[in-house]
Structure 1
């Protein structure tokens, strides 16, 4: 049912059949159907209306974080190209906010520790060879950025989206040519942050986070 709603085969405002009919159609018990409907409601996909039945929501307006977690944690789901692009754009704009916070921070001593950690990750990336290891190190680099912002929600959001990013990053690092380019962008970003050069830092976030900037990845 979730797939049908997300694929647009069940439209917003459409009324679902009664639970007893769905139980018969799917060949499972009515209590199981009811439990599934409650899960869909919790994810913001449907609304149970007294005397009106089950109505499909516009998930773009009603869906909750539970739906996103379902999409990225369920092995039966692969991110659609549109959702993957949305995830990429979301990270770009979120991390632009992160570097603004870092550049505005007056506690350079604290930042120096964080930037030193990012440099160490870059060194490890140069030594790593497996796509899975590079994906994990890349994720830790961006988590380190979130922690540097001193805004707890940034780091929590980065962690929440980890499964989706890891899937994309592992495929991304299947190309051996990518690693050095990423590390180069990372180093330029670190330099800009250490110098509080916000303009350059924002440009480097755009380059680092946009898969389209990596020619060989798209070939």
Structure 2
């Protein structure tokens, strides 16, 4: 049996986490001005270096706005946030996404998968079709939900790479954590065979070089998780 190394979070990580929680819980409201760094340092009993680096990270994530010679303010992270902001929200919610976030990710996935299908299918080779089939079968053969979700990610990422659009696989890779979470949610609710069947159906259209069929299936199958019979919301 292999044991993992135990590590404790740094003071900066704890500082960032506490302020994120205060912002996400509403204890710190949008537009509210934070105390000066010296006061934060004294109140939280950490060095000013910890406060300074923590504020810089929170600004990068879109939670804070630093105005030189004016102060530091809570930002509207819905407008200024990044993917890191979404990951922080997931962590705050115990690894879960809210319904509007799930819907948004799925809508983006429809757009990206549709573009990938249009670009990939018209130029894919027989060898590449076989490669996608092998990745599809790994979903079927997975012994766990995590394994099936990883196999599904590998299929989708390869599909994106084969589109030869430089940005699609990069965007897909950047969304791995929330997308992976949604696949796990889908498998928990509907089973690994359902994920395999969805992927195999898409592969069949790719195999037949049927762009219209693939696009329709993407819109239908992902749409079912948004408004259909296979919703994956937590509430």
Q: 1:42-70 CA distances to partner (integer Å, 9 max, x unpaired)? A: 22322221221002222222223443455
1:79 aligns with 2:93: no
Q: Tell me, in whole angstroms, the C-alpha distance in 2 between the residues paired with 1:200 and 1:54.
A: 52
- Of 206, 210, 219, the match for 2:219: 206
Three-state SS of the structure 1 residue aligned to 2:188 is: coil
Q: 1:55-95 CA distances to partner (integer Å, 9 max, x unpaired)? A: 222222222344345556x6985233233332222222221
- Of 104, 107, 128, the match for 1:114: 128
- Of 23, 30, 33, the match for 1:5: 23
Structure 2 counterpart of 1:191: 204
Q: Tell me, in whole angstroms, the C-alpha distance in 2 between the residues paired with 1:153 and 1:181.
A: 29
Question: Which stretch shows the higher mean deviation, 205-214 or 15-24?
Answer: 205-214
Q: 1:5-44 CA distances to partner (integer Å, 9 max, x unpaired)? A: 3444433322112122222332322221111111112223
Q: 1:163-185 CA distances to partner (integer Å, 9 max, x unpaired)? A: 2222332343235x533333222
Question: Which stretch shows the higher mean deviation, 165-174 or 48-57?
Answer: 165-174
Q: Tell me, in whole angstroms, the C-alpha distance in 1 between the residues paired with 2:110 and 2:124.
A: 24
TM-score (norm 2): 0.75
Structure 1 counterpart of 2:193: 180
CA distance 1:156–1:69, change in 2 (3 Å): farther
Structure 2 counterpart of 1:125: 139
Q: What does residue range 103-182 of structure 1 map to in structure 2 within 5 Å?
A: 103=121, 105=122, 107-109=123-125, 112-175=126-189, 178-182=191-195
Structure 1 counterpart of 2:68: 50
Q: Tell me, in whole angstroms, the C-alpha distance in 2 between the residues paired with 1:150 and 1:171.
A: 30
**Structure 2, unpaired ranges of 5+:** 1-18
Three-state SS of the structure 1 residue aligned to 2:148 is: helix
TM-score (norm 1): 0.80
**Structure 1, unpaired ranges of 5+:** none
Aligned residues: 213
Three-state SS of the structure 1 residue aligned to 2:65 is: strand
